[in-house]
Structure 1
Amino acid sequence: MACCAAVVAVVLAAAVAGAPVEGLGVNWGTLATRRLPPKVMAQLLKDNGFKKVKIFDADETTMMGLAGTGIETMIAVPNDMLAAVAADYRRAKEWVKMNVTKYDYHGGVNIKFVAIGNEPFLTAYNGTYDNVTVPALKNIQRALDEAGHGSAIKATVPVNADVYDSPASNPVPSAGKFRDDVAAVITDMVRFLNHSGAPFSVNIYPFLSLYGNDNFPIDYAFFDGAPPNPVIDNGVNYTNVFDANFDTLVSALDKIGFGSMPVVIGEVGWPTDGDKHATVPYAERFYNGLLKRLAARQGTPLRPHASIEVYLFGLMDEDAKSVAPGNFERHWGIFTFDGRPKFPLDLRGNGRPVMPAGARGVQYLPRRWCVLSPNASTNATAVEENVAYACSRADCTPLGYACSCGALDAAGNASYAFNAYYQAQGQVPLACDFQGLALVTDKDVSRPPCNFTVQVVAESRATAVTTNTTAAESMAPDAAAARLTAAVMAFLLVLVSA
């Protein structure tokens, strides 16, 4: 019976997956405290029909998971290596040898692109990588060429959409131009990409137009809305921000003489938690609209009927990502941390309410949770300190305002924080002590829509459990309290006032 069940599961997965939209890929990030085995992840990609994947390094365990799958892969030279690769061609040759040539064998990894950094011209970097990105690009492509990979593997630079804009005096797509401070560098980069036969890669996030801007017309972020005041540009009505953003880039490329350059969307997606607009219904609406357009080859006004290569962002939630951009950063996945689909998503672009195939072979830790002890309510200060400690080392972003766990009371907030830390640490007994304020229970304390997770069996990347006498002392070395997110601070105020 077990064998038959396994066969049925495979058949159902294949039926659900079908053939996704042409050119559709997905980003596979690995910034999680506990990760599913790479082979499980690779099988998840295959079960859903993904034929393209983008990763953010060339980690050996991830690469071995992709080996033999045939999935086209974009690997990456991380930002912190750009200066070294730019300054020393020998470093570029060595990188290609260890991360490309190493997997060039029958049954190896089907590498198609090498990403040079990730959004290196982002304004937040204050020019840190402006002078090393293009030299690194040229050195890596040269190394690929000399190693015999250059005809099949191209180096490109995934940029953020903040590298181009339209002037405030004429904010329409046709007026698009590259940002003044990077225009010369981008022009040099585009010339080289054109010479080598590589595409321009850009990350576009309509969600960010809504984030923190209550005046932005919400329907303009989606593909099925009818905003009352569309952007009108030379007789063309732009009814969604994706088209307007993409065509602003096309105009910027045209102004430097490369208006027909191929463009790959390296990242596009919608988060499901961590902000009032980061919800499952909005994510489902966004993705279904996007996939229908891609399937129909609708293109954009400046590139009508174009087939655009697109990488969804992202595959899984990542609970160890930085929340500097916002608490939503840990919730971009179309799958949960353990590989369960979050919402119906027809990857074929037909708009049918079908669920993607979930991960198979996932192993979980025992069904137990760490919660606030009923006897702890009289010691609010100690609870506050220990919650702060837990949230500095685990993911508490769902506790924020208008988030999935934002309606919990003070005790619920503390229990959520304690359990998040306990699970991230692999349920080791010491991780559910918190100076005697917590206890382990086998009763599921989830309060829908707030889910108290049980983590997966995996190699832990969490920080080691400490035995310091107080949480405050444990935090002191790395100033954990100073890095608390807005979500953590919000519920700490609830605790104080309780």
Structure 2
Amino acid sequence: MATLGVAPVLGAALVIAAFAATVTSVRAIGVCYGVNGNNLPSRSDVVKLYKSNGIGNMRIYFADQQALDALRGSGIGLVLDVGNNKVGDLAASPSNAASWVRDNVQAYYPDVSIMYIAVGNELTGTADILSAMRNVHDALVSAGLAGSIRVSTAVSMDTVEKSSPPSDGVFKDASVMSPIVQFLASNGAPLLVNVYPYFAYKGDKGIDLNYALFQPSSTTVRDPNGLTYNNLFDAMVDAVHAALDKAGGGNVNVVVSESGWPSADGRGASVDNARTYNQNLIDHAGKGTPRKPGPMEVYVFAMFNENLKRGDPTEKKFGLFNPDKSPVYPINFK
């Protein structure tokens, strides 16, 4: 391995710092676009729906070439998942990662504004994650795109062992998460985190509904570090920040890659509660959290009610829009 001089190292650090400052300097709101339905609009109509509603960013869960084609020239920022079924292939060899980057990134960028590549969605228990992340990153370096597109992975709140008070946050499996955090820190990449106060509320009858909905509540969490929490979302996100600090990733930003509330078929799931949570989430993204004040990047889950989603019936009712493109409830993204 060649030894880099001080000037190139400093230059690389400045590029990373500039990129980080750019992506965190303004509020960024996106919506996750899933396609687990047999009655959904065409990809081109979906892109038009994003633009007509002022939705600036999108997340897709695999390299959907129809969606990528529809996004050309749209200006919509994209989180591109590799697809959980592809992680093993990308980890297996650098050539597999290079082929994937050639076919799904180089073939579209910069016509499609790809910002992040998510290697795995809630797969941090899989040994292949870090190897796949490294191989994809190296492929981007070879393609000259590593300065523009960051490689990360999306984790659930289950990766955090403690979350209350938030400053006690620590990753459950440090042997898995610490190397991932170090990779992110060294490459100026954020950690993508799926944050759902709804599931915390659903599973714990001691949580006040208003505290989960960003509404005025009798619940207030006072952290030993002097910070005060008036909503569950902030407490959850800051528990991740605390865990990152403990893993040596104090400079790693958090992008909320999923958050939402269902409109039916579960405890606390109603149209009114879904509208309240998601509108408050969008509005709150400009403020940040007590530990990390300032604009945040947040992706609401999800664009549509998807009738083929598996699991609990509630899973089918997270959509902001019906398959006919009518809103499930009014919401303002601007």
TM > 0.5 between the two?
A: yes
Instruction: Give the match for residue 173 of structure 1.
Output: 166
- Matched-pair contact (CA < 8 Å) for 1:202–1:264: yes
Cα distance, 1:162 vs. partner?
1.0
The equivalent of 1:300 in structure 2 is 289
In the alignment, which of 127, 152, 156 is matched to residue 156 of structure 1? 152
Aligned residue type for 1:41: V
Q: What is the 5 A alignment of 1:135-284?
A: 135-166=131-162, 171-179=164-172, 182-227=173-218, 229-234=219-224, 235-284=226-275
- Whether the 8 Å contact between 1:67 and 1:109 is mirrored in structure 2 is yes
* Local SS of the residue matching 2:47: helix
Partners of 1:257 and 1:76 in 2: how far apart? 25
Q: Could you give the per-residue CA deviations for residues 213-267 of structure 1, whole angstroms, max 9, x where no partner exists?
A: 333221221112213x422212433221111101111111111222232110100
Contact 2:59 2:78 in 1 (8 A): yes
Larger radius of gyration: 1
Per-residue deviation, residues 143-183 of structure 1 (Å, max 9, x unmatched): 0110121111111101111111328xxx311111000xx21
SS in 1 for 2:274: helix
Query: Secondary structure in 1 aligned to 2:332?
Result: coil
CA deviation map 1:455-479 (0-9, x unaligned): xxxxxxxxxxxxxxxxxxxxxxxxx
**TM-score if structure 2 supplies the norm length?**
0.88
Residue 316, structure 1, aligned to residue 304, structure 2? yes
One-letter amino acid of the counterpart of residue 297, structure 2: E
What is the one-letter code of the residue matched to 1:136? A
1:366-385 alignment, distance < 5 Å? none
1:38 Cα deviation (Å)? 0.7
How far the C-alpha of 1:334 sits from its partner, in A, is 0.7
Q: How many residues are paired up? A: 308
Whole-Å separation in 2 of the counterparts to 1:253 and 1:38: 36
**Structure 2 residue 83 is matched with structure 1 residue 72:** no
- Measured after TM superposition, the shift of residue 99 of structure 1 is 0.6
Distance of 2:290 and 2:204 partners within structure 1: 26
**Distance across 2 between alignment mates of 1:292 and 1:45:** 18
- Cα deviation code 1:173-208 (max 9, x no counterpart): 1111000xx212211111111111111110100110
Cα deviations across residues 432-474 of structure 1 (Å, max 9, x unaligned)? xxxxxxxxxxxxxxxxxxxxxxxxxxxxxxxxxxxxxxxxxxx
Structure 1 stretches lacking a partner, 5+ long: 1-20, 122-126, 349-498
Question: Structure 1, residues 293-344: CA drift from partner, whole Å, max 9, x if none?
Answer: 22xx32211112x111111111111111111xx2111111111122111212
Q: Is the 2:305–2:319 contact (alpha carbons within 8 Å) kept by the matching residues of 1?
A: yes
How far 1:26 sits from its partner (Å)?
A: 0.9
Give the gaps of 5 or more residues in structure 2. Answer: 1-25
Between the aligned residues of both structures, percent identity stands at 33
Deviation of 1:73 after TM superposition, in Å, equals 1.1
Distance 1:345 1:252 in 2: 33
Cα distance between partner residues in 1 of 2:93 and 2:249: 30
The answer to whether the Cα contact below 8 Å between 1:161 and 1:203 also exists between their aligned partners in 2 is yes
Q: Deviation digits for residues 130-150 of structure 1, max 9, x if unmatched?
A: x10000000001001101211
Say whether the 8 Å CA contact 1:165–1:248 is kept in structure 2: no
Q: How many Å separate the matches in 2 of 1:74 and 1:288?
A: 21
Distance 1:339 1:165 in 2: 39
Written as runs of structure 1 = structure 2, the 5 A alignment for 1:408-447 is: none
Q: Secondary structure at the match of 2:118?
A: strand
